[in-house]
Structure 1
Amino acid sequence: MTTRKNFKRQVRARAARTGESYTSALRNLRPAPSADAGTDADSPGSVRLAVAQTPVREDPQDAGALRASGREVRSLMREAGARGARIVHFPEGALCFPGKYVMSADGPDTAGPADWDRCQWPVLRSELAAIARLARELRLWTVIPSVHRLTGPNRPHNSLYVISDRGTVVTRYDERLLSRTKLSYLYAPGISPVTFDVDGVRFGCLLGMEIHYPELFAQYETLDADCVLLSTTGVSPGNAAAQAQGHAAANGYWVSLSVPTQHSATAPSGIVAPGGDWLARCPVDGSPSVTVAHLDDSSAFAAASVAYARPWRRESRAGIHTGHRVTDPRSQDRTAAF
């Protein structure tokens, strides 16, 4: 274990020094495998990721609906585990996506501040605890969105819980850039990005409308994320899919887009490679499902994006062009003739 930790430390140090991703630095430091060595799937710096799509229910007062959502999540966790996934990623609202009218203290016909005392908190906690127990049983990292209760009278956070393969919450991401409705009526915003590592692959987390903010994706690039997990429910589906591809290509990392089954006909959940191509997508028939992809640099396009495009962009942003600038008057004159 100590040897493994030291090796990971060396890889991280190289990545920080050269601008490479973790997986690229790992490829340069790891000795070539022998004929009987395991595959990359068994080594640090690569991981099998499952992304899910589930139906969304809007009423956290409905204990039966919360339990049904929990059962669906656990069923898909078992499917992901059976397909060899090490980590599974769920959409915003996988357990419940509270509606502004359902929760309104001003009545069901008026949008207003949410009355969170109506939420079936004991049932929600029970379902999350059951998910954590199954994560431990399956040895499956599980990223599950839920409402995170704060001390009253503060509103809760809209959050992503990261549950390890030992069944413990290792971190939590709270949505930072909320929609107008969420900010006005439902949630308190979070304050910081969150990363976590699984088998040497670093993940970042985003939620909801944050797909519209390229600066958040760029921030995770500077934090050496290899993959960003984006859970959403309230965005235009086709727009979300196109933006996920753009963020992956622009930043040279994988993006996992997890959306509800209600959007599957036009934008099913899926995983985008660093070059911007879809690696895997869920069915378009509206069914609860998971799809699985292996995150490594096995494709030439992904390898080029991770190993070359990303470091070059970092150098460009750091001012590598400064030394190549010229003082030619024709460069300064914006009205110079042809």
Structure 2
Amino acid sequence: MSSTGPDTVGDADWSRAAWQVMQEESAAIAELAGELGIWVAFGSPHRLSGSNRPHNSLYVVSDQGSLVGRYDKRFLSNTEVRFMYTPGTEPLVFEVDGFRFGCALCIEVNFPELFAEYERLDVDCVLASVMVDDAARAVVAQAYGTLYGYWLGYSVPAQFSATAPAGLVAPGGQWIARCDGDGRPGLAIADLDRDAKDADIDMSLRLARPWRRTARAGLYEDRVVHGDPRSDARTAF
């Protein structure tokens, strides 16, 4: 996409993008989702007006085939923000059968404040779509299941599966479904069950997540001791 050629990075020339084709393909995905009766989240650049750069986005389509929301990537890489995209400004939360979902894209996995925000927005699951061959990023994503007590869907292209296959992390931080690591397309399927008998999920949902909210809401303020020299002196045993 670089306007200065393949050997140097320059401003993206978005006139090269086949926008009509992408729009037709997006509409076809939405139509098929309606036919199959499934919800779908899929990625695509989202064209803006005039000379404004596009967003890097996730579209969310309902089981009726309707576009119900779009998430625009807010935290961009250096190359993206300098040469390619317009950053988004808002989270996206949508609800399916009583479960609340949030969305994140790629490098945003390395911005924990975004995932903390989704915890405050009371989501049950964050869908993270990642276009990078990075084992560490999958570990960071997995940690959010422990830190925030929600499910985490981690999606990567099949060619990166040998390093970190796509899958689903449960509250408590355990992978409960993963694709094969053989470089071939696959599906990871699992139930989101608030009444799961798994001890990690039960502990995270029933105890850990509520307790952390209580702890962050000023629980300790009236238990702090002021003026005690044994507390104030931090260089004495």
Aligning the two structures, in what range does the TM-score lie when normalised by the shorter sequence? over 0.9
Q: Separation in 1 of the partners of 2:126 and 2:188?
A: 16
Measured after TM superposition, the shift of residue 290 of structure 1 is 0.9
Q: 1:254, 1:237 → 2: CA distance?
A: 20
Q: Structure 1 residue runs of 4+, over 3 Å off? A: none
Equivalence map 1:56-75=2 (5 Å): none
Which residue does 1:82 correspond to in 2?
none
State the shift of 1:295 in Å. Answer: 0.6
Partner SS for 1:293: coil
Aligned to 1:284: 181
Structure 2: where are the runs of 5+ without partners? none
Does residue 84 of structure 2 align to residue 186 of structure 1? yes
Counterparts in 2 of 1:67-216, with a 5 A limit? 103-216=1-114
- For residue 334 of structure 1, the aligned residue among 219, 234, 237 is 234
Amino acid across the alignment from 1:281: R
Read off the aligned partner of 1:213 and give its amino acid letter: F
Does 2:115 match 1:224?
Answer: no
Q: What does the per-residue CA deviation read over 1:270-319, in whole Å, with 9 as the maximum and x for residues that have no partner?
A: 00011001000001000011110101131221011011111111111111
Provide the identity percentage. 54
Match of 1:5 in 2: none
Q: 1:268 aligns with which of 165, 188, 200?
A: 165
Name the CA distance, whole Å, in 2 between partners of 1:314 and 1:272: 21
Please give the per-residue CA displacement for 1:111-153, whole angstroms capped at 9, x wherever unaligned: 1001111111111111111100000001100000111000020
CA distance in 1, matches of 2:5, 2:50: 21
Amino acid at match of 2:68: V
Give 2:153's aligned residue.
256
Q: Distance in 2 between matches of 1:122 and 1:310?
A: 45
State the shift of 1:261 in Å: 1.2
SS of residue in 1 equivalent to 2:188: strand
Counterpart CA distance in 1 for 2:136 and 2:156 is: 12
> Using CA pairs below 8 Å that are at least 6 residues apart, which structure has the higher relative contact order?
1
Which of 175, 183, 202 aligns to 1:303? It is 202
1:242 aligns with 2:142: no
TM-score by length of 1: 0.68
> Within 2, Cα distance between the matches of 1:222 and 1:180?
28
Counterpart amino acid of residue 273 in structure 1: A
Determine the C-alpha separation between the residues in 2 that align with 1:121 and 1:213: 30
Show CA shifts across 1:218-277 (max 9, x none): 00000001000000113x521111101111100010101001112100100000011001
Deviates more, 1:310-319 or 1:150-159: 310-319
Pairwise CA RMSD: 0.9
What secondary structure sits across from 1:173 in the alignment? strand
| SS of match in other structure, 1:162 | strand
TM-aligned CA deviation for residue 212 of structure 1: 0.2
CA distance in 1, matches of 2:235, 2:188: 55
CA distance in 2, matches of 1:292, 1:182: 32
- In structure 2, the residue corresponding to 1:218 is in which secondary structure? helix
**Secondary structure in 2 aligned to 1:320?**
coil
CA distance in structure 2 between the partners assigned to 1:148 and 1:168 by the alignment: 17
Question: Does 193-202 or 315-324 show the bigger shift?
Answer: 315-324
Normalized per residue, the structure richer in helix is 1
**Paired AA for residue 265 in structure 1:** A
Gaps of 5+ in 1: 1-102
1:313 equivalent in structure 2: 212
Q: Could you say what secondary structure the match of 2:176 adopts?
A: strand
Distance in 2 between residues matched to 1:248 and 1:137, nearest whole Å:
32
In the TM superposition, what is the alpha-carbon distance from 1:161 to its structure 2 partner? Answer: 0.2
Q: Distance in 2 between matches of 1:291 and 1:178?
A: 27
Q: Which amino acid aligns with 2:32?
A: L
In structure 1, the residue corresponding to 2:220 is in which secondary structure? helix
